[in-house]
A and B are shown apart, each in its own frame.
Chain A
């Protein structure tokens, strides 16, 4: 049997998600025995032409050229999986979606005329059909391994969509919101990371994006009782998954309230 071909693609991103593949130190060689890394520039200068059986796409679409490139990649990919918050919801760079990009450009670049970029940073699914999403900023390498193993065995990967709290409790971490009064996004955020932040005494900051049924309104209300103001809520929701529907909405609601109250 010929090995299936794997391609790893990069759009606007930090490379952290694709690095997770190389961070599978114990499994990397076993993976390459089961799947042929046909196109993965961060790891190999060998490039085998498509079509590919499995494409992992990292990064968000921020240029007109990338918007075209993703369509070509989709055409060459049998099964296309987005890896990470950038690819899934635009990533941290989606904060530009609220801003005047020309102003952003001039803030950062000496010669803004030479910068050609779209006004928005968007997830891959806004451009092409995506077969599966791995959440996280960065993705969890265990979930990545599960995805690859499931792909090879033709089964559905075990990727839960419930809240971070479930993993937090399985891990035995006392709730930081209840026990310390620390605001935590865990109850509205999808599990997958293993509930790391509460285990380190900090609130979850939402890098796996919204869970399946997030009640951001109720959580925001409770954060306020813990002393978080609307600005803090805006900052919290406008993080690494700022452009994901439910967080975007929650951030906008808080922003409107903040503007109303602060009257800047």
Chain B
């Protein structure tokens, strides 16, 4: 038996145990927590880690914090099953295992010099938030920056305070819509694609990054292309069952793609046809 601590001999599947330093209950079923990394941790927006809830198991979770912060990394998790529920029970001082970062990131370099449209649905905002941080840190490299976000209802809005802060900035455009408003909701109601019409961006000069339910991503891509965004400038982050994160378990296949390796972020033309096939 080898104690899996000595660097260099550690298998790619062995997590590093790190401490939870802060926990924020974003929504009734969604929690963000910060992990104190023992060594500087570099990642690019859109990458994910395999998070390990000790004794329960692992799940792929996007890094949702600021890529400029290399000491503390943030994840945002929605409790839907065994691992995510355990992660949502974490308290400061608890330990989780981390492996990664893995996966192909959002094309923040490709997007330089043009407009950027981020479209998020529900928890899909989490993997896009690092992009927004990046864009705002390097604001000069981009023209318009637009975030369009849709949630089920006003109480389902993730990062609500931050959303407000972003909205009040002059260097980015943030629009939020909900499926079902309420008495005190004064914003738009309806699907997120409806926001596209009045968003300030120049289609042919735009790079779009979309994350949300598959159906939302398909419609978003369609409408973005209608607004003259080049289809190969539309990117989306795909999701499939993922057990290893490093390409060996086979679960995350999406037709010819192995999502943990070739994705999760993929240009729309690479998957356009696959998205129309059932059970792929």
Chain A, residues 5-24, CB within 8 Å of chain B (1/0): the string is: 00000000000000000000
Tell me which residues from 117 to 137 in chain B have a Cβ below 8 Å from any Cβ of chain A. none
Q: Flag whether A155 is at the interface (Cβ < 8 A).
A: yes
Q: Flag whether B247 is at the interface (Cβ < 8 A).
A: no
Chain B, residues 52-95, CB within 8 Å of chain A (1/0): the string is: 00011100000000000000000000000110001000000000
Q: Flag whether A170 is at the interface (Cβ < 8 A).
A: no
Contacts of B81 in A (CB 8 A): 156
Give chain B nearest CB distance to A158 CB in angstroms: 9
Contacts of B56 in A (CB 8 A): 153, 155
Give chain A nearest CB distance to B140 CB in angstroms: 48
Tell me which residues from 149 to 194 in chain A have a Cβ below 8 Å from any Cβ of chain B. 153-156
Give chain B nearest CB distance to A79 CB in angstroms: 15
State the CA gap A156–B53 with chains docked (Å): 13
User: Which residue of B has the minimal Cβ distance to A157?
Assistant: B82
Contacts of B55 in A (CB 8 A): 153, 155
State the CA gap A90–B205 with chains docked (Å): 66
Chain B, residues 140-171, CB within 8 Å of chain A (1/0): the string is: 00000000000000000000000000000000
User: Which residue of A has the minimal Cβ distance to B53?
Assistant: A155
Number of interface residues of B (CB under 8 A): 6
State the CA gap A84–B86 with chains docked (Å): 29
Give chain A nearest CB distance to B132 CB in angstroms: 34
State the CA gap A155–B87 with chains docked (Å): 12
User: Which residue of A has the minimal Cβ distance to B82?
Assistant: A156
* Interface residues of A, dominant DSSP: loop
Give chain B nearest CB distance to A189 CB in angstroms: 24
State the CA gap A167–B206 with chains docked (Å): 52
User: Which residue of B has the minimal Cβ distance to A156?
Assistant: B82
User: Which residue of A has the minimal Cβ distance to B57?
Assistant: A155
Tell me which residues from 28 to 63 in chain B have a Cβ below 8 Å from any Cβ of chain A. 55-57
Contacts of B86 in A (CB 8 A): 154-155
State the CA gap A154–B55 with chains docked (Å): 10
Give chain B nearest CB distance to A45 CB in angstroms: 35
Tell me which residues from 20 to 34 in chain B have a Cβ below 8 Å from any Cβ of chain A. none
Contacts of B82 in A (CB 8 A): 155-156
Contacts of A153 in B (CB 8 A): 55-56
Tell me which residues from 123 to 155 in chain A have a Cβ below 8 Å from any Cβ of chain B. 153-155
Contacts of A156 in B (CB 8 A): 81-82
User: Which residue of B has the minimal Cβ distance to A158?
Assistant: B57
State the CA gap A223–B31 with chains docked (Å): 53
Contacts of A154 in B (CB 8 A): 86
User: Which residue of B has the minimal Cβ distance to A155?
Assistant: B56
Tell me which residues from 44 to 101 in chain A have a Cβ below 8 Å from any Cβ of chain B. none
State the CA gap A130–B174 with chains docked (Å): 47
State the CA gap A20–B81 with chains docked (Å): 29
User: Which residue of A has the minimal Cβ distance to B81?
Assistant: A156
State the CA gap A156–B55 with chains docked (Å): 11
User: Which residue of A has the minimal Cβ distance to B83?
Assistant: A155
Give chain B nearest CB distance to A132 CB in angstroms: 13
Give chain A nearest CB distance to B39 CB in angstroms: 30
State the CA gap A156–B59 with chains docked (Å): 14
User: Which residue of A has the minimal Cβ distance to B56?
Assistant: A155
State the CA gap A155–B52 with chains docked (Å): 13
Contacts of B57 in A (CB 8 A): 155
State the CA gap A76–B57 with chains docked (Å): 31
User: Which residue of A has the minimal Cβ distance to B54?
Assistant: A153
State the CA gap A153–B57 with chains docked (Å): 12
User: Which residue of B has the minimal Cβ distance to A153?
Assistant: B55
State the CA gap A155–B89 with chains docked (Å): 12
State the CA gap A154–B86 with chains docked (Å): 9
State the CA gap A154–B56 with chains docked (Å): 8
Can you list the 4 inter-chain pairs with the closest CB atoms, starting with the nearest? A156-B82, A155-B56, A155-B82, A153-B55
On B, residues with C-beta under 8 Å from A are 55-57, 81-82, 86
The 6 listed contacts between A and B (C-beta, < 8 Å) are A153-B55, A155-B55, A155-B56, A155-B57, A155-B82, A155-B86
Known: A153-B55, A155-B82, A155-B86. 7 other contacts (CB 8 A): A153-B56, A154-B86, A155-B55, A155-B56, A155-B57, A156-B81, A156-B82
